[in-house]
Structure formats: structure tokens, C-alpha cells
């Protein structure tokens, strides 16, 4: 009842709309910068110099086989729900498509996309 008795002009409605839009844009900006900050923080925390997962093969819902690079050694492990089992070790020569992996590792060093595409095209077999 009280709302029906209050009469607002078009100018007041426009000011309210602008206020709501500014608040919405402010919330979006805070969300964007917070997400960027958290992503940078997590990336710096998860950066490993000596351990990398080269490849993962999913066998069942919670069982995997993974190739892990630990320094200069490549380990093949089986990962289950409650256990991790070392299956074997590999040498660099025993791995297939390691060249593609090397390109991806170099990507982390900060190359631009055009350089990455050139390297991948060079490694593809010619027809």
C-alpha cells in the first residue's frame, strides 16, 4: 500500500537504474580480479621443476596408469583409489611423441602461439 502511494518520477527511476548498474559492474570487476589473483597464486604454488605428469591413461573410474618425469627418469605408476604402485621405469628413447611434450614444456617458458604452431608443423610428417 505504501509503495502504491509513493510516486516516483522518471528521473528518479533512471538514477536508481544507474546505481544498480554501477554496483553490478563493480561486483563483476571484483570477481574478475579476484579470479585472476587466485589463478596466479595457484599457478605459482603448483609449479614443479622436477616432477611432471607426462601422460595419464584412465583404466576404470578410479584407476589410472601414469608416466611421470622425475628429473631425467620416467616412471610408470599405477594409481588406484587407496594405493600407488610403481610398474616400471622408462628411458627417454622408449617414449613415443616426446617431441610434442617438449614443445608443450617450451610453451610454459613463454613462447607465443605462432612459434608453437611452426614447431608443431615442422614435426608433423610431410605428405
Could you read off the pLDDT of 48-83 as tens digits, one per residue?
Answer: 678 888 888 999 999 999 999 888 889 999 999 899
The enclosing H or E element of 120 equals: helix 113-123
Contact 77, 70 (CB under 8 A): no
Tell whether the model's pLDDT for residue 105 goes beyond 70. Answer: no
- Residue 35: pLDDT over 90: yes
Containing H/E element for 21?
helix 10-45
Please answer whether residues 49 and 108 qualify as being in contact, where contact means their C-beta atoms are separated by less than 8 angstroms.
no
Residue 120 is predicted with a pLDDT of: 82
| pTM beyond 0.85, yes or no | no
Q: Are 116 and 107 spatial neighbours (Cβ–Cβ below 8 Å)? A: yes
pLDDT score of 1 more than 50: no
Over range 83-102, report the average pLDDT: 78
Burial class (CB in 10 A: 0-12, 13-18, 19+), 69: buried
Task: Give the Cα separation of 127 and 125 in Å (integer).
Answer: 7
Distance of CA 21 to the CA centre of its chain: 31
Amino acid at each position: 500500500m505504501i509503495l502504491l502511494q509513493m510516486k516516483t518520477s522518471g528521473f528518479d527511476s533512471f538514477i536508481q537504474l544507474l546505481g544498480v548498474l554501477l554496483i553490478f559492474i563493480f561486483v563483476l570487476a571484483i570477481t574478475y580480479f579476484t579470479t585472476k589473483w587466485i589463478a596466479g597464486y595457484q599457478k605459482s604454488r603448483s609449479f614443479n621443476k622436477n616432477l611432471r605428469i607426462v601422460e595419464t591413461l584412465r583404466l576404470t573410474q578410479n584407476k589410472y596408469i601414469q608416466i611421470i618425469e622425475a628429473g631425467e627418469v620416467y616412471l610408470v605408476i599405477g594409481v588406484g583409489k587407496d594405493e600407488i604402485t610403481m610398474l616400471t621405469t622408462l628411458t627417454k628413447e622408449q617414449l613415443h611423441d616426446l617431441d610434442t611434450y617438449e614443445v608443450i614444456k617450451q610453451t610454459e617458458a613463454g613462447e607465443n602461439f605462432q612459434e608453437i604452431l611452426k614447431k608443431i608443423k615442422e614435426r608433423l610428417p610431410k605428405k
